[in-house]
Amino acid sequence: MATTADIKKGITIMHQGNPHVIVDAQFVNPGKGSSFVRTKLKNITTGQAIDITMKAGDSIDVADTSMRNVSYLYRDDNNFYFMDPSNYEQLSLPADIVGVDSQWMKEGVEVQMTFLDEAPLAMQLPRKVDLLITETPPGVKGDTATGGMKQATLETGARVQVPLFLADGDVVRVNTENGTYVERV
């Protein structure tokens, strides 16, 4: 059986029957007695975060997860569909698991899919994606020196703040973690 000594950021463990990824782990000595491990867990399917502090040496249940890169194909009302390029197998994830990431999902984008016992469980977008601006108001001349920003709608429907010099048809790189503009491509 695995113990807290096997805890590392990024591994998946079963907690109350659900797979959770360890997003943070801190080994601490509260001062008197044993050492403890403070962990921050994220439920892979719901995204909900919880803090659990375990005693050093406690056993943990490491989940049998694996990760592969897959390509996004299309969506319908309930599901997002992907293809595993290694075997052309089609896979799906419920839309509520994709959640807010759906705003960055462009056909063909490669995402990292997590499998639990070989079943698709969750997906992770690349940190940056390139998307086309479909609609943005013209920039006001002379305003560029202030570092002003304006709203732009992207091909996936997402809205981001972009610099004033950008126009419809430009491709921009955006950070999918915080939804901010990075650069013009």
Partner 1 sequence: MAADRITLERRAEIIRAIRGWFCNQGFLELETPLLLPAPDQEPSLNILTSELTDPRTNLRREAYLATSPEYNHKKLLGKGIYNTFEITKSFRDGESWGDLHNPEFTILEWYRTPADYTKLMHDCEALISYVINVCHPELDSGSSPTRGWPRLTIIELFKQYCDADITAYNDADWRALIDRLGLPGAPADSLSDIFYRIFLNRIEPELAKMETPIFVLDYPTFQASLARRKKDNPNFAERFELYAGGLELGNAFSELLDAKEQRSRLEDQHAYREQHGLPVLPIDESFLKALEADIPETAGIALGVDRLIMWLLNIERIEDVLALPAAELFDKT
Q: Contact positions toward partner 1, by CB under 8 A?
A: 24-36, 38, 51-55, 57-58
- The nearer residue to partner 1, 42 or 172, going by C-beta atoms, is 42
Least distance from partner 1 to the Cβ atom of residue 11, Å: 16
- The nearer residue to partner 1, 4 or 176, going by C-beta atoms, is 4
Q: Which two tokens stand for residue 76?
A: 């319908």
Least distance from partner 1 to the Cβ atom of residue 37, Å: 9
Least distance from partner 1 to the Cβ atom of residue 64, Å: 22
- The nearer residue to partner 1, 23 or 167, going by C-beta atoms, is 23
- The nearer residue to partner 1, 19 or 120, going by C-beta atoms, is 19
* Residue found by looking up tokens 């001062």 in the block: 31
Least distance from partner 1 to the Cβ atom of residue 181, Å: 24
Give dist(CA 170, CA 167) in Å, integer: 6
Residues 135-143: contacts with CB under 8 Å, at least 24 apart: 135/168, 136/162, 136/166, 136/167, 136/168, 138/167, 139/163, 139/164, 139/165, 139/166, 139/167, 140/164
Least distance from partner 1 to the Cβ atom of residue 56, Å: 9
Query: From edge to edge, which strands make up the β-sheet containing 49-55?
Result: 12-15, 18-28, 36-43, 49-55
Buried b (16+ CB within 10 A) or exposed e, 100-111: ebebbbeeebeb
* Residue found by looking up tokens 């056993």 in the block: 59
Least distance from partner 1 to the Cβ atom of residue 19, Å: 18
Q: Which amino acid type is present at position 49?
A: A
- The nearer residue to partner 1, 36 or 81, going by C-beta atoms, is 36
Give dist(CA 37, CA 55) in Å, integer: 6
- The nearer residue to partner 1, 24 or 168, going by C-beta atoms, is 24
